[in-house]
Amino acid sequence: MSRLMPHYSKGKTAFLCVDLQEAFSKRIENFANCVFVANRLARLHELVPENTKYIVTEHYPKGLGRIVPGITLPQTAHLIEKTRFSCIVPQVEELLEDVDNAVVFGIEGHACILQTVADLLDMNKRVFLPKDGLGSQKKTDFKAAMKLMGSWSPNCEITTSESILLQMTKDAMDPNFKKISKLLKEEPPIPL
């Protein structure tokens, strides 16, 4: 098995956009970049919808609000409310039955992301974490979560959204590369 993400035509990949909600928008330093990554990967999903799924979760929206208006939801996105920290609730579990790989991004790294990744690994999924699309309110919590999830390699890889775009394309001759390369040229709101 390759250490890299497979080409988008090889197996199914799910993009899990986790809890990018109003209540957190002012409390997480990297929040604007999390939204940027969510939109970047949503556009990738729109280019190859037959091989990918786009799942968005909202954690207790009654108390924490809806996803922020800046997120562009693909028409085929699955929006799911939850109260568990992990995103692996019955509706999501059903959507993931035919999925081999999961790209998980959003907040908070030490809570919902961490528990989602653990559950995905228990389901024998390969997990990829674009670090530029992850955040927590406290840097210490975020660093500890990244260190822990990084130790779960080889089935959990910490990477970046740009690297994911390139890994899933593999070749400049790919029929979708020209469109995908436009996504590579976009700059995040907060320089990394």
Residues 68-95 have pLDDT tens digits of 999 999 999 999 999 999 999 999 999 9
Residues paired with 100 in a beta bridge: none
Query: What pLDDT score does 91 carry?
Result: 98
Closest CA to 150 of 120, 117, 119: 117
Q: What is the mean pLDDT of the chain?
A: 95
With both helix axes pointing from N to C terminus, report the angle between 31-47 and 161-169 in degrees, rounded to the nearest 10.
10
SS3 8: coil
pTM: predicted TM-score of the whole model, two decimal places: 0.96
pLDDT band for position 103 (cuts 50, 70, 90)? very high
Q: Judge whether 183 and 37 are in contact, CB under 8 Å.
A: no
pLDDT band for position 114 (cuts 50, 70, 90)? very high
Q: Which domains does the chain have, with CATH numbers?
A: 13-185 (3.40.50.850)
pLDDT band for position 4 (cuts 50, 70, 90)? confident
Q: Which two tokens stand for residue 133?
A: 């699309």
